[in-house]
Amino acid sequence: MSEQVLPAVAAPPKRRVAIPPGVALAMLWLLAMVTIAVLADVIRPYGITAMDLRSRLQPPVGFGGGWLHPLGTDELGRDVFSRLIESIRMSLMIAFGATIIAAVFGTTMGFLAAHFRGWVEQAVLMLIDFQASMPFLILALSVLAFFGNSLPLFICLMGLYGWERHARISRGLAIAANAQGYAAAVRQLGAKPLRIYLKHVLPNIASTLIVAATLSFPEVVLLESGLSFLGLGVQPPMTSLGNMVGYGREYITRAPWIMLSPCVVIILTTLSVSILGDWLRDRLDPTLT
Amino acid sequence: MSLLSLEGVSRVYATRRGLFGKPVPVRAVDHVSFSVAPGRTLGIVGESGCGKSTTGRVALGIERPSEGSVTFEGATMPMPGTPEWRRMRARLQLVHQDPLGAMDRRLTVAAQVAEPLEIHGIGDKAERTDRVAALLRDVGLRADLAERHPHELSGGQRQRAVLARALATDPALLVADEPVSALDVSIQAQVINMLTDLQEARGIAMLFISHDLKVVRQVSHEVAVMYLGRIVEQGDPEAIFADPLHPYSRALVSAIPVPGPRRIERIVLSGDPPNPADRPSGCAFHPRCPLAVSACRAEVPELKAAADGRQVACHLVEAA
């Protein structure tokens, strides 16, 4: 059999996949957001607490305002554009940080449950049920009330939001994978559990986890705004997108631009993350391309 | 000197009937003993649910026997999941029935064939690449298929790729669990020929599990016929297929399609295979056996040596 001469066939050309325009726009937007977040201190024209009481509630350019404050000013005469830039940095940090923490923690717990089964699984499931049955707002309130509010604590707390979803998904998919051929086959080859889970199970279920993460990203942004609105999230003078929306609400009839500009940023960012996540899921699956 | 030997191996599962039902023990494998010598093939045949695959899994060490012992290369099979068990995987390999399910659909064929080498730390990167190329050539896969994903291959190519992966660590024993039943007949012949060629060239012992008697006859040096978790007849394949002694083997052999006029009368078994949770008393085959006598209902027949060195478990066959 091995002597048989096999005809050489040219390897198929590597497929180049064009990026659809919607995805390209989403990528551009997210890139811009990340750049703004990184360079916030450089591009911000005014300090976020710099008040200019003579030009309070000035409309943006195009609505009767001047170029001095391109997105207008708020009730204390603070530049909305500068505050928006600072808010983008704060909200992105919280949302990305929290989503990553939730995904990593949840997936780890799910894998532990799927691997050990027995009482470990029962304990993880109990934690999941606890998390799912408890309104997160109440949990957040009590934690913030007892431990005070600091930014790292707040990010970690947000990271607790949505971990149970990742844990459930990864547990279910890992159990299915272990029962299916490929994970059992690799186990039979003598692989250690860490290799099975990281090299085989995780890439195979990553598409579902990415979709779950892109769903929880906007929710974290909204949750952060909700908590900030209640005065429990980002504390003034620091600012975040949700914080801006919350305080701008009072001026919705007289100066809608205060809350409209952060709203637009929230909508576009969450939409971009969803579009990008959807596209990534398809790209990560070699059977679909 | 045998490579693998099973001594009185049983595997019992507990199943529950209904929500509050009592767990009922099911003996999937019941007091099975056999041994496989290096370079030889033992074929296991039987109908669906007779415990062939469970026997294969116990022999591989994936499952622990509930009773009895499995010895491989002179040592008892270690507990699954232990480091010794993992090291032993290099010596015992499984060829799956469903090659697509057994492969990770995200990795290329080359990456998957290299996987056992990486796991057992064999060779460096360059050596592994050479070895993978050689393995793919041995199983008759074109070099350009190495960079393909499993779903881009045909069924026969996938089974070849799975075989290349199983052979990567130079195993001493290959358990082939219905390796060709998912393939069509022409491809079956190719894969079987390749399997026997490779076995001869590398001196691998094989446990060949199948319900296809013709294939088993072609590859095996010895055949064991299983019925409801027990071996009912074991011996030389030519002898068993020419002159089956056990009534169940007779029914199986008569079911092999033959070209031309039929020499032996076709025996059609009545009834379904019995439920292993509700095993008939005595010989498990007696409700379907055309020759059953009263002793068959009362006493379990032991596997006894019969004529020409064969072993048969039947009250009606004279012991040698």
Residue B88 forms contact with A (CB below 8 Å):
yes
Separation between Cα atoms, residue B204 and residue B173, nearest integer Å: 6
pLDDT given for residue A118 in this prediction: 85
For the beta sheet containing B4-16, the strands, ordered from the edge strand earlier in sequence to the opposite edge, are B23-36, B4-16, B67-72, B75-76
Q: Is the pLDDT of residue A103 over 60?
A: yes
Select the residue from B82, B88, B106 to test the A interface by mutation, using most A Cβ atoms within 10 A.
B106
Mean pLDDT of A104-117: 91
Is A103 inside a domain boundary?
yes
What number of C-beta contacts closer than 8 Å exist between A and B? 81
Query: Distance (Å) from the C-alpha of residue A198 to the closest C-alpha of chain B?
Result: 13
Residue B161 forms contact with A (CB below 8 Å):
no
Structural domain count of chain A: 1
Q: Is the pLDDT of residue A180 over 90?
A: no
CATH number at residue A174: 1.10.3720.10
Name the DSSP class of A201: I
Among candidates B14, B16, B28, which has minimal Cα distance to B57? B28
Query: Distance (Å) from the C-alpha of residue A87 to the closest C-alpha of chain B?
Result: 40
**Structural domain span for residue A53:** 21-283
What Cα–Cα distance (Å) separates residue B61 from each residue in A15, B71, B95? 43, 10, 14
Separation between Cα atoms, residue A267 and residue B93, nearest integer Å: 54
pLDDT along chain B (320 residues), means of 10: 86 78 83 90 88 89 88 87 88 86 86 90 87 90 88 88 90 89 84 89 91 87 90 89 87 82 74 77 84 84 82 78
Mean pLDDT of A113-135: 89
Pairing of strands B92-95, B173-177: parallel
Burial of A15 (0-12, 13-18, 19+ CB in 10 A): exposed
Query: Distance (Å) from the C-alpha of residue A83 to the closest C-alpha of chain B?
Result: 45
Is A102 inside a domain boundary?
yes
Model pLDDT for residues B83-134, shown as the tens digit of each residue:
888 888 888 888 888 888 888 888 889 999 998 898 888 888 888 989 999 9
Separation between Cα atoms, residue A16 and residue A31, nearest integer Å: 22
Tokens for B191? 């894969």
Residue B96 forms contact with A (CB below 8 Å):
yes
Query: Distance (Å) from the C-alpha of residue B274 to the closest C-alpha of chain A?
Result: 27
State whether B115 and A189 contact (CB < 8 Å): yes
Q: How many percent of chain A have pLDDT more than 70?
A: 92
Is A289 inside a domain boundary?
no
Calculate Rg over the CA atoms of chain A.
Answer: 24
Residues of chain B contacting residue A7, judged by C-beta atoms under 8 Å apart: 142
Q: Is the pLDDT of residue A4 over 70?
A: no
Residue of A nearest to B162 (CA): A185
Task: Say which residues have a Cβ less than 8 Å from residue B262's Cβ, sequence separation at least 6.
Answer: none
Residue A289 forms contact with B (CB below 8 Å):
no
State whether A192 and B144 contact (CB < 8 Å): no
| pTM assigned to the model | 0.77
Among candidates B271, B284, B268, B178, which has minimal Cα distance to B228? B284
Please provide the DSSP assignment of A165-178 as one string.
Answer: HHHHHHHHHHHHHH
Q: Is the pLDDT of residue A274 over 90?
A: no
Domain B4-91+171-312 CATH superfamily: P-loop containing nucleotide triphosphate hydrolases (3.40.50.300)
Is A43 inside a domain boundary?
yes
Tokens for B215? 């294939």
Domain boundaries, chain B: 4-91+171-312, 104-163
**Residues A113 and A71: beta-carbon distance below 8 Å:** no
Residue A18 forms contact with B (CB below 8 Å):
no
pLDDT given for residue B205 in this prediction: 92
Separation between Cα atoms, residue B309 and residue A42, nearest integer Å: 91
Query: Distance (Å) from the C-alpha of residue B85 to the closest C-alpha of chain A?
Result: 8
Separation between Cα atoms, residue A246 and residue A218, nearest integer Å: 17
Residue of A nearest to B141 (CA): A6
**Residues B92 and B98: beta-carbon distance below 8 Å:** no
pLDDT given for residue A263 in this prediction: 87
Maximum pairwise Cα distance, chain B: 68
